[in-house]
């Protein structure tokens, strides 16, 4: 929280995206007790338990609520499933009629267990560990809602946006409204920070990025600021490279997530003056581990730390990661000082 407020810190805080996940045997053990992934995300006791696992094992400075970005379309009434080894499958929304079937009517009831998970975490987390709530950004969530799955370039949503921008905007507006209510309820339940995941932001040219990435995130940021002025927001817009210096000024987020491909000098000179930055170790360096991982961590810490910086990976930790490598990463950061 101090780093996000721009205050001086002894060392940068750290957490890692997807820190509760399949690389941990204790996660797989709990996961194996519920077959369906959406039901697993909506089981507050289990979601709370797996959220705490990486904190107990590695001592991260923040816990991120365990859930998924596709819980929002589920709350809007879309059929959402996860197929083992393949990924998400949704009943695609491709036109105004299919869109009209989605509604906020029973939203809070359907996603309510997520708020209960946050309440349990707020009670059970050690006081010095920050609790991060999250949602997908409207653009990224919409790409899955329209395609019904992950696709190579998320073409279906991009094509709808070009062919019928007004119709597509109705979808983006609905998801934006739902996301504001969803994040506000997480704050009311005890989330201290929020992260917005825009994994597919980098698939868009300039004008579309402004309209479908910056504008909806700005609307979310402004609505939350009006209700909870003290709660900072981290924007993670993957793959937008040269547009990163625009993200915080255009949306009002306090912190900007950095993916592994962005040069550190660019982040320090062009992005850090606009926002606190978070990132950006390549997740595959944590799979390989050893000296190459430690050298890169040192370079990142020296270039971006210690203030206005949160150490993280540049994208989610992958299932083949040896947990010992995460332990070595955690030790290196905890032992580091200015
Ligand atoms: O970071 C955390 O620990 C919090 C939990 C979290 C998950 N997904 C758990 C999860 C968060 C923040 C997400 C975000 C998410 N989900 C994103 C944005 C960030 C990113 O990684 O790009 C996206 C695009 C999704 C959608 C999603 N969820 C996909 C495409 C998949 C399938 C791919 C895969 O890795 O299997 C998921 C499933 C998912 N979400 C898993 C986890 C731990 C694995 C499923 C399982 O355990 O059975």
Q: Which atom of ligand 1 is nearest to the CA of 150?
A: 30
Q: Is residue 159 part of a domain?
A: yes
219 flagged as catalytic: no
Q: Is residue 7 part of a domain?
A: no
Per-residue pLDDT reduced to its tens digit, 36-89: 999 999 999 999 999 999 999 999 999 999 999 999 999 999 999 999 989 999
31 flagged as catalytic: yes
Residues 104-114, mean pLDDT to the nearest whole number: 98
Question: pTM value?
Answer: 0.97
Q: How many domains does the chain have?
A: 1
Q: Is residue 13 part of a domain?
A: no
Distances (CA, A) of 287 to 86, 190, 328, 332: 21, 33, 12, 16
> What is the DSSP secondary structure assignment for residue 267, as one 8-state letter?
I
How far, in Å, CA of 193 to CA of 89, rounded? 29
pLDDT of res. 246:
98
Q: Which domain holds residue 41?
A: 25-335
> What is the DSSP secondary structure assignment for residue 243, as one 8-state letter?
G
Burial of 89 (0-12, 13-18, 19+ CB in 10 A): middle
Residues 254-266, mean pLDDT to the nearest whole number: 98
Per-residue pLDDT reduced to its tens digit, 134-148: 999 999 999 999 999
Q: Which atom of ligand 1 is nearest to the CA of 70?
A: 26
Q: Are 278 and 255 in contact, with CB atoms under 8 Å apart?
A: yes
State the distance from the centre of ligand 1 to the C-alpha of 163, rounded, in angstroms.
30
Q: Is residue 14 part of a domain?
A: no
144 flagged as catalytic: yes
Per-residue pLDDT reduced to its tens digit, 166-189: 999 999 999 999 999 999 999 999
Q: Is residue 180 part of a domain?
A: yes
Q: Is residue 11 part of a domain?
A: no
pLDDT of res. 316:
98
259 flagged as catalytic: no
Residues making up the chain, counted from first to last = 338
How far, in Å, CA of 306 to CA of 167, rounded? 45
The verdict on the CB of residue 150 being under 6 Å from ligand 1 is yes
Per-residue pLDDT reduced to its tens digit, 116-128: 999 999 999 999 9
- 236 contacts: CB under 8 Å, gap ≥ 6: 17, 195, 196, 197, 198, 199, 256, 257, 278
> What is the DSSP secondary structure assignment for residue 213, as one 8-state letter?
I
How far, in Å, CA of 168 to CA of 149, rounded? 17
Q: Which atom of ligand 1 is nearest to the CA of 134?
A: 12
Q: Is residue 161 part of a domain?
A: yes
The angle at the Cα of 148, spanning 177 to 202, to the nearest 5 degrees, equals 70
Backbone phi, then psi, for 206, in 5-degree steps? -45, -55
Q: Is residue 213 part of a domain?
A: yes
State the distance from the centre of ligand 1 to the C-alpha of 11, rounded, in angstroms.
29
Whether residue 315 is predicted with pLDDT greater than 90 in this model: the reply is yes
22, two tokens? 């399949």
Mutate which of 23, 32, 68, 84 for ligand 1? The one with the most ligand atoms within 8 Å of its CB, which is: 68
The continuous run of DSSP H or E covering 23 comes out as none
* Average pLDDT over the chain, rounded to an integer: 97
Distances (CA, A) of 62 to 59, 149, 219: 9, 30, 26
Per-residue pLDDT reduced to its tens digit, 199-239: 999 999 999 999 999 999 999 999 999 999 999 999 999 99
The verdict on the CB of residue 69 being under 6 Å from ligand 1 is yes
How far, in Å, CA of 219 to CA of 210, rounded? 12
The verdict on the CB of residue 21 being under 6 Å from ligand 1 is yes
Find the DSSP H helices in 59-130.
71-75, 96-100, 107-124
pLDDT of res. 152:
86
The verdict on the CB of residue 17 being under 6 Å from ligand 1 is yes
Closest residue CA from atom 9 of ligand 1: 68
Q: How confident is the model at residue 269 (pLDDT cuts 50, 70, 90)?
A: very high
CATH number at residue 329: 3.20.20.210
Backbone phi, then psi, for 65, in 5-degree steps? -40, 135
pLDDT of res. 137:
98
Closest residue CA from atom 13 of ligand 1: 68
The verdict on the CB of residue 64 being under 6 Å from ligand 1 is yes
Closest residue CA from atom 35 of ligand 1: 87
- The string of DSSP codes covering 36-69 is SHHHHHT-HHHHHHHHHHHHHHH--SEEE----T
How far, in Å, CA of 41 to CA of 49, rounded? 11
DSSP, collapsed to helix, strand or coil, labels residue 255 as strand
Distances (CA, A) of 171 to 50, 80, 142, 238, 290: 32, 17, 7, 21, 46
pLDDT of res. 280:
98
Q: Which of 27, 115, 144, 182 is catalytic?
A: 144
Whether residue 338 is predicted with pLDDT greater than 90 in this model: the reply is no
Residues 96-106, mean pLDDT to the nearest whole number: 96
HSE (side-chain half, CA atoms, 13 Å) at 261: 8
How far, in Å, CA of 143 to CA of 72, rounded? 13
The verdict on the CB of residue 72 being under 6 Å from ligand 1 is no
State the distance from the centre of ligand 1 to the C-alpha of 22, rounded, in angstroms.
10
């Amino acid at each position: 929280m101090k780093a996000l407020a721009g205050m001086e810190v002894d060392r940068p805080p750290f957490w890692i995206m997807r820190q509760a996940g399949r690389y941990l045997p204790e996660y797989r053990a709990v996961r194996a007790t519920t077959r369906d992934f959406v039901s697993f995300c909506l089981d507050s006791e289990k979601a709370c338990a797996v959220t705490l696992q990486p904190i107990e094992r590695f001592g991260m400075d923040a816990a991120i609520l365990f859930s998924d970005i596709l819980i929002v379309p589920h709350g809007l009434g879309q059929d959402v499933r996860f197929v083992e080894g393949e990924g998400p499958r949704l009943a695609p929304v491709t036109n105004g009629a299919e869109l009209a079937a989605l509604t906020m009517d029973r939203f809070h009831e359907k996603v309510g267990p997520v708020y209960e998970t946050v309440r349990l975490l707020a009670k059970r987390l050690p006081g010095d560990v920050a609790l991060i709530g999250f949602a997908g950004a409207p653009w990224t969530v919409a790409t899955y809602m329209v395609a019904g799955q992950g696709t190579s370039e998320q073409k279906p949503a991009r094509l709808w946006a070009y062919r019928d921008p007004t119709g597509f905007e109705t979808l983006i507006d609905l998801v934006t409204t739902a996301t504001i209510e969803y994040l506000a309820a997480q704050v009311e339940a005890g989330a201290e920070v929020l992260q917005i995941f825009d994994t597919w932001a980098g698939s868009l040219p300039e004008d579309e990025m402004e309209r479908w990435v910056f504008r909806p995130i700005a609307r979310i940021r402004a609505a939350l600021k009006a209700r909870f002025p003290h709660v900072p927001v981290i924007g993670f817009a993957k793959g937008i490279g040269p547009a990163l210096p625009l993200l915080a000024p255009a949306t009002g987020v306090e912190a900007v997530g950095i993916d592994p491909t962005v040069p550190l000098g660019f982040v320090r000179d062009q992005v850090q003056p606009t926002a606190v930055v978070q990132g950006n170790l390549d997740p595959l360096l944590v799979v390989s581990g050893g000296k190459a991982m430690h050298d890169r961590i040192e370079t990142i810490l020296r270039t971006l730390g210690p203030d206005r910086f949160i150490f993280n990976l540049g994208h989610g930790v992958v299932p083949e990661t040896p947990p010992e490598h995460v332990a070595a990463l955690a030790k290196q950061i905890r032992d580091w000082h200015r």
